[in-house]
Amino acid sequence: MKLIHVVGARPNFMKVAPVISALQKYSGIAQTLLHTGQHYDANMSDIFFRQLGLPEPDINLGVGSDTQARQTARIMMRFEEVVLQEQPDWVLVYGDVNSTVAAALVCAKLQIPVAHIEAGLRSMDRSMPEEINRLVTDRISNLLFTPSEDGDEHLLQEGIPSDRIHRVGNVMIDTLIRLLPTARAKQDVLRQQLGVNTPYGLVTLHRPSNVDDGEMLSRILAALKNISQSIPLLFPIHPRTVQRMQAMGLSVSSPTLHLIEPLGYLEFLALMDAATLVITDSGGIQEETTYLGVPCLTVRENTERPITVTMGTNLLVGRDMQRLQLEAERVLAGKAKHGEIPPLWDGLAGERIADILSKV
């Protein structure tokens, strides 16, 4: 059996690692790792691949950044050439980025079976490009591997045959569990390097609705500055967000709101594990904080991972910065929401996927 794994952005790397590792235990399965280059920063990508124990990609399409349509089209054109040459038995796509839907569309047209890892997630907000990617990919995939019960329910409601749906657990949590001891060993040194010896909060924001809107970004920074009066905040900030701030004339002059360089996976996991609270708009971080039991305040009106709200430690505060500050105060007052780890988030999702694929 010949498989191609398609990744395009850093969150995909955490998802593909446990699947590649689990499939290596089966003889007769040849794996090719293809990076579309959708999001590509040489330094950060190298760090992530090394820390996750991933092999260097066998193929890099090098598509780079562009508009939604142009980027998706470029991935499709370049990926089609690979598929026609390699003739894989299965293509595995991950998450909800443009690379995911582009690869699935190419395979659907060429009658190459597709397996979607992290299927069935829904925010019910079609203004999000990721939601369109999820809907289309799930509709044309042959196997759908879901992380939680709500994923199964969404797919069944949309008319996906039940024999295509397999609840396997969360592959991102596989990676977290495997690397958590290594990350924890870095915590003391990392905190010394960052000069944080007291309890702290961790911030990560990247969604266009938060960082591309000047008024919204200004409100967020003001709220973060206020929260940092009660607890220091570490904010690994993307260079693109820094550019936006400069272009909009925004600045942060606060000794307790620390803007720092982007971090590798292990460093970020180390900080997240030891944080008093996390403020984010990232889907994956909602899941990771739920597993770690760290209170998470999500600056979004909705989430495609509702299980982190219904079962986990996540709370949606929307775009209401007063509520963000209020909920942060509640966390610091010891009134944080308590959660539990969802079923099958046990570090064995990759093993379950490999077992199913070995029998198709």
> How many domains, in total, are found in the chain?
2
Q: pLDDT tens-digit profile of 117-169?
A: 999 999 999 999 999 999 999 999 999 999 999 999 999 999 999 999 999 99
Are 133 and 217 members of one domain? no
Residue 338 belongs to a domain: no
H helices present in the chain, as ranges: 10-23, 42-52, 68-86, 98-110, 129-140, 149-157, 171-185, 187-194, 208-211, 214-227, 239-248, 265-274, 283-292, 307-310, 321-332, 349-357
Q: Is 80 exceeded by the pLDDT of residue 39?
A: no
Are 328 and 184 members of one domain? yes
Are 136 and 257 members of one domain? no
Are 291 and 322 members of one domain? yes
Q: What pLDDT, on the 0 to 100 scale, is given for residue 243?
A: 81
Share of residues in the chain with pLDDT > 90 (%)? 82
Range of the domain at 316: 180-332
Burial class of 113 by CB neighbour count within 10 A (0 to 12, 13 to 18, 19+) = middle
Measured distance CA(341)–CA(174) in Å, rounded: 13
Are 303 and 349 members of one domain? no
Q: pLDDT tens-digit profile of 225-278?
A: 999 999 999 999 987 788 888 888 887 778 999 999 989 899 999 999 999 999
| Angle made by CA atoms 230, 234, 254, in degrees to the nearest 5 | 60
Residue 193 belongs to a domain: yes
Are 294 and 351 members of one domain? no
Residue 324 identity: L
Residue range 31-60: average pLDDT?
Answer: 85
Measured distance CA(54)–CA(265) in Å, rounded: 13
Residue 142 identity: N
Are 187 and 160 members of one domain? no
Residue 144 belongs to a domain: yes
Are 129 and 258 members of one domain? no
Q: pLDDT tens-digit profile of 61-71?
A: 999 989 999 99
User: What's the CATH number where 36 sits?
Assistant: 3.40.50.2000
Measured distance CA(347)–CA(28) in Å, rounded: 24
List % helix, strand, coil for the chain (3-state, nearest 5). Answer: 50, 15, 35
Are 159 and 203 members of one domain? no
Question: Tokens in use for 297?
Answer: 């305040």
Which residues are part of the catalytic machinery? 206
Residue 281 belongs to a domain: yes
Are 63 and 157 members of one domain? yes
Pick from 342, 347, 359: which is nearest to 308 by CA? 342
Are 86 and 126 members of one domain? yes
